Amino acid sequence: MRKRLSMMLGLLAAVSFAYGQAQNPECMQNLSIFAEHAKVKNYEAAFEPWKMVFETCPELHFATYAYGEKILKDRIKNDEANKPAYINTLMEVYKKGPEYFPKRYTKAGSMIDIALLKFDNDMANDEELFSLLDEAFKEDAEHFKNPKALYLYFSTLVDLHKAGKKDLQEVFDTYDAVTGKISEENRDLAEIIMKYVEKDSAGTLTSKEKTRLKNARINGESYEKISSSIDSKLGGLADCENLIPLYQKNFDSHKNDAKWLRSAAGRMDDKGCTGDPMFVKLVEALDALEPSAQSKYFLGSLYEEQGDRSKALDFFNQSVELETDKYKKATKLLSIASKAKKRGQKTTAYKYAKQSLSVNPSEGRAYMLIASLYADSANECGTNTFEKKAVYWRAAAMARKAGQVDPSMGSSASKAAAAYEGRAPSRSEIFNSGMQGQSIKFNCWVGGSVKVPSL
């Protein structure tokens, strides 16, 4: 329902003549009256003329729905005695918006608005909320973009599972769908940011572009928060203790379902269950049924678990070569980098993180990984304490870069950058060093140089 109302009053004038001549002129008159009042946020004065239009000629103009939401929310907030009636009317507004103006309002958006209205006012139980949001997501996932609704959708399902009303497999399937949607939205936001970030640095953005960039960053932070909350909500349900018996139970009925096998093997890989025979069974079935970038990646995880790092890396590289989706390829390269970092192979980790960025320059997690590699190498670089601590400036710069290119990294990137800055030379150390404004070259694997800040 949150649509721009710019130029609306101009459009009302255009509608006025045609509608007023052929049908109810009183409707057009009241439309103009409530729109004028609502435009200056005089919602109390707008209510009665708005109500007449909504009840008598709901098909007249989309302003009835766009301003109607604002008018009714004001009444809900300020008229406690009649609050239930206003809530019910607002639900009717949400329902009728897509009916009369399907090009402006979607069914998914309508159902989301109704579900959130009921949730915010304690008017529905978990089953009702989940049913509404599940229908909206499955019928129109493309327009299911509200972060709060995505979290509520998954959260109510988990609560229903804990109450014995939903199967664990449905929880996992929905988790995959919701997190996939979040990744999809973050990709779109990352592309917007990449499009404008250089112009932003150069100071050449138009006001419209500044707004788009600002909104992309805000939305990215919102998705980051709910992504973390969704993982927390899933919690221990996705540990090996629950996964293994579930997949053992369902394997025979799904052994020819590549999608199910991919999801099951992926979750076991994510949760560190690769040492269990069930993981081997899933991976072998998947690779036999549908050899792919994903199956090769799982085979790599399998051999790594068995300690054969050379063979594991070979399968990981095969997986990268077979992958055609640039985002998935970048993620796989980043995963290889992360595994190398855990083994203490810094240069190998750096190599794959850089490859990840070459495929997807907006992969903020790769910048964060490189930042951590720099920070972990502080004692290996420089000939004195000052030079060694200077590496943290490089680490901070990489962390900041993560936040610039990837909206989902937002606050975590800022916190990491601040932490690295705190470990770099202090102002007194800079002053005593006599190195202000000079460059320090790193002769370790980190390479490059950093300029000492001027005080």
For residue 96, being part of any structural domain is answered with yes
Q: At 292, which CATH number?
A: 1.25.40
Q: Which domain holds residue 416?
A: 342-455
Residues 215 and 248 occupy one common structural domain: no
Question: How far apart (Å, rounded) are the C-alpha atoms in residues 406 and 273?
Answer: 30
For residue 409, being part of any structural domain is answered with yes
- Length of the chain measured in residues: 455
For residue 112, which of 87, 148, 67 has the smallest C-alpha distance? Answer: 148
For residue 430, being part of any structural domain is answered with yes
For residue 214, being part of any structural domain is answered with yes
For residue 332, being part of any structural domain is answered with no
Residues 181 and 129 occupy one common structural domain: yes
For residue 112, which of 141, 92, 96, 136 has the smallest C-alpha distance? Answer: 136
For residue 333, being part of any structural domain is answered with no
Secondary structure of residue 441 in the 3-state scheme: strand
pTM: predicted TM-score of the whole model, two decimal places: 0.67
Residues 191 and 312 occupy one common structural domain: no
What torsion, rounded to 10 degrees, do the Cα atoms 245, 247, 252, 253 define? 120
Q: How far from chain centre, in Å, is Cα 64?
A: 32
State the residue for tokens 């990491």.
416
DSSP secondary structure letter of residue 316:
H
Choose the final residue of a domain: 218, 236, 254: 236
State the residue for tokens 């077979």.
322
Query: Total domain count for the chain?
Result: 3
Q: What is the full DSSP assignment across 175-192?
A: HHHHHHHHHHHHHHHHHH
| Beta carbons of 150 and 226 less than 8 angstroms apart | yes
Question: How far apart (Å, rounded) are the C-alpha atoms in residues 176 and 125?
Answer: 24
Query: Hey, what are 339's tokens?
Result: 């595994």
Q: What is the full DSSP assignment across 199-265?
A: HHHHT---HHHHHHHHHHHHHHHHHHHHHHHHHHHHGGGGSHHHHHHHHHHHHHHHTT-HHHHHHHH
For residue 197, being part of any structural domain is answered with yes
Choose the final residue of a domain: 217, 236, 255: 236
Residues 111 and 130 occupy one common structural domain: yes
| Beta carbons of 388 and 381 less than 8 angstroms apart | yes
State the residue for tokens 């009702």.
128
For residue 329, being part of any structural domain is answered with no
Per-residue b/e over 315-342, b at no fewer than 16 CB within 10 Å? bbbbbbebbeeebbbbbbbbbbbbbbbe
User: In the beta sheet, which residues pair with residue 451?
Assistant: 439
Residues 89 and 153 occupy one common structural domain: yes
Q: What is the pLDDT of residue 366?
A: 96
Query: Hey, what are 13's tokens?
Result: 């004038």
Choose the final residue of a domain: 183, 218, 236: 236
Cα angle 147, 150, 152 (rounded to 5 degrees) comes to 110
Residues 434 and 358 occupy one common structural domain: yes
Residues 348 and 308 occupy one common structural domain: no
Amino acid (1-letter code) at residue 287 = D
The CB density around residue 30, as the number of other CB atoms within 10 Å, is 23
Cα angle 197, 198, 202 (rounded to 5 degrees) comes to 115
Residues 36 and 48 occupy one common structural domain: yes
- Rounded (10°) angle between helices 147-162 and 126-139: 130
Q: What is the pLDDT of residue 18?
A: 44
User: In the beta sheet, which residues pair with residue 439?
Assistant: 451
Q: What is the pLDDT of residue 4?
A: 46
Residues 389 and 445 occupy one common structural domain: yes
Secondary structure of residue 123 in the 3-state scheme: coil
| Beta carbons of 379 and 388 less than 8 angstroms apart | yes
Question: How far apart (Å, rounded) are the C-alpha atoms in residues 173 and 257?
Answer: 14
Residues 149 and 292 occupy one common structural domain: no
Q: Phi/psi of residue 441, each to 5°?
A: -90, 140
The CB density around residue 143, as the number of other CB atoms within 10 Å, is 16
Question: How far apart (Å, rounded) are the C-alpha atoms in residues 239 and 187?
Answer: 28
Q: What is the full DSSP assignment across 341-371?
A: HHTT-HHHHHHHHHHHHHH-TT-HHHHHHHH
Q: Which helix (H) or strand (E) holds 449?
A: strand 449-451
Mean pLDDT, 10 residues at a time, the chain of 455 residues: 47 45 77 95 96 95 95 94 95 96 93 96 95 95 93 96 94 91 88 83 87 88 89 89 92 92 89 89 91 90 88 93 92 93 93 95 94 94 91 95 85 93 94 91 91 88
Residues 226 and 252 occupy one common structural domain: no
For residue 237, which of 166, 343, 150 has the smallest C-alpha distance? Answer: 166
Q: What is the pLDDT of residue 23?
A: 60
Residues 308 and 200 occupy one common structural domain: no
